[in-house]
A and B are shown apart, each in its own frame.
Chain A
Amino acid sequence: MIASKVWLFFAMSAITSVTGRPAVAAEAGSVIATQGNGRGAVACKACHGEAGAGIPAVGFPRLAGMSKEYIVRQLDAFADGGRAHTMMSPVAKALSPDERAAVAAYFEAARAPATPGLAPVDEATLARGAVLARDGAWSKGLPACGQCHGPDGGGIAPAFPPLAGQSEKYLKAQLDAWRQGKRTGDPLQLMTVVASKLDDAEVAAVAAYYARLPPEAKGEER
């Protein structure tokens, strides 16, 4: 009973602090995304696009529709060294916690169409990717990607990011980073374990498959 009252108190506080100045928060996120913060964080749009489409060809990830919580967790990890990246680490360090939350909310709400011009991929690769995405490979204890990332890769907020329409190069690089232990900090080490069960051909297949699905993430509506 006491615990639930404490929880209620925090919940009410959170609602008040968000709803008290939503326009300010949204405006702040938009400014950071399009202009940077003037203190070392360059404009996100330079690499991720104003609407969060990313630049798939060079592996800059799509952010549109990712949950705020997921984006904040990544920015925190870039800032504290839990996730390493030559460009993102200094940018994240230059953002205050409030700014991280604001820019994350901006990209959660952003919608960007699929990026055209993906190179064709052979049918067999796509079919292999589809099986991994929808059925998994239980003979080696591998659940379907879609069980956590949602049917058709739309993501399950807050913890599981959308994969549909994500940069193929980025997906492949992340799966390889999980496999090689270069990316860590995943909840329960779920991705570390899952990725370790994929071989090179499977990584390529699943990245090719999700990159070609239409991005339709709408965020979690519980």
Chain B
Amino acid sequence: MTAAKRAHSILFAAVASLSVAGLAVAGAAWADPSGEQSAFTPPSGAEIPKGGFGEMVALGRDIFTDTSKHAGAFVGNDLNCSNCHLDKGRLAGAAPLWAAYVAYPAFRKKNQRVNTFEERLQGCFRYSMNGKAPPLGDTTLIALQAYAYWLAKGAPTGVDMNGRGYPAPKKPERLDLARGGEIYAQKCALCHGADGAGLKAADGSVAFPPLWGPRSYNWGAGMSVITNAAGFIKANMPLGLGGTLSDEDAWNVAAFVDSHERPQDPRFEGSVAETRKAHHDNPLDLYGTEIGGVTLGENSPPSGPQPK
């Protein structure tokens, strides 16, 4: 049995979840289906100061909400930062910027070293935005960093803040892709389309982001790991109805979304199996596993911005 097939069978067999234990604390700390924010409140948009610093903060906010328009050179898909970090990066339970800002510098398993916040932002562009990393010191990174710093006004450092990231709901023993597909059709397709490609407004702007396919996040993005998608979905989806899906449904629909093909992992060097072994060795990551007779990653569109 190959590693990939083994991972697949583990995923769909009844096994105790390995990732739940570590995340259960965060899940318990964020259990507010009403959408009410946690104790920390970032400053309101009206409080952005005048002057050079305030201008950079405002640029960061604009990059955050209309990323292609303001940082198009580094974007290779139809997403905006604010698609996954709701309320312009302010909302607890939707990976708020203020909680992320005070969590860096931090050691990351993803690249086995201590990363600055700026380097973390580079990762967002390379993976989630399927683009390319702005060079350190680029205005795009300075602006986003200024915006995050400003949002974190008064937040403590050295504390894992309540509302950080996407707190994982309780994982069911078994994930069910077919059930996930049913939930998707009932609750998600209205906005994201039956084909996962999202919907555009009449003016051509992306109204509802694509969840898979060539214009979505790539296989290196955190959201391509089911754990992260389940946490985001449980707390925030459907938009305005966060917390209404059962934990089990949130996991199943997350697995369904992340069982579709998307742009290649930028770290791919020619072998899906090797890429899986090096970067996706996790039963809750379907890259390199076989779904419906096709190995995910084998037919991925190329990573990074593509010529139109």
On A, residues with C-beta under 8 Å from B are 135-136, 138-143, 147-148, 150-152, 154-157, 159, 187-190, 193-194, 216-222
B185 CB, min distance to chain A CBs, angstroms: 12
Note all chain A residues with C-beta closer than 8 A to B238: 188, 190
One digit per residue, 1 when the CB lies within 8 angstroms of any chain A CB and 0 when it does not, for chain B 13-43 equals 0000000000000000000001111000000
Q: If the complex has contacts A156-B199, A156-B201, A156-B208, are A138 and B240 also in contact, measured as CB distance less than 8 A?
A: no
User: Could you give 29 example pairs across A and B, Cβ below 8 Å?
Assistant: A135-B87, A135-B88, A138-B37, A139-B36, A140-B34, A140-B35, A141-B35, A143-B86, A143-B239, A147-B207, A147-B239, A148-B191, A150-B201, A150-B202, A151-B203, A154-B201, A155-B202, A156-B199, A156-B207, A156-B208, A190-B240, A193-B240, A217-B202, A220-B200, A220-B201, A221-B200, A221-B204, A222-B199, A222-B200
- Does the CB pair B199–A220 fall under 8 Å? yes
State whether A142 and B207 are in contact (beta carbons under 8 Å apart), knowing that A156-B199, A188-B187 are contacts in the complex: no
Chain B residues within CB distance 8 Å of chain A: 34-37, 45, 86-88, 90-91, 187, 190-191, 199-205, 207-208, 238-242
A138-B91 in contact (CB<8A): yes
A115 to chain B, nearest CB (A): 20
Give chain A nearest CB distance to B197 CB in angstroms. Answer: 8
Closest to A216 in B: B202
With contacts A138-B86, A138-B87, A220-B200 known, is A148 near B239, CB below 8 A?
A: yes
Q: Smallest Cβ distance from A106 to chain B, in angstroms?
A: 18
Give the docked Cα–Cα distance between A154 and B88 (Å): 21
Partner of A218, one of B34, B35, B202, B239: B202
Check if B36 sits within 8 Å of A141, measured CB to CB: yes
- Given A135-B45, A136-B87, A220-B199, list of 19 further CB < 8 A pairs? A138-B37, A138-B87, A138-B90, A138-B91, A140-B36, A143-B86, A147-B207, A147-B239, A148-B191, A148-B207, A151-B207, A154-B203, A155-B202, A190-B241, A193-B240, A193-B241, A219-B202, A220-B202, A221-B200
B207 pairs with A188, CB closer than 8 A:
no
Q: Which residue of B lies closest to A217 (CB)?
A: B202
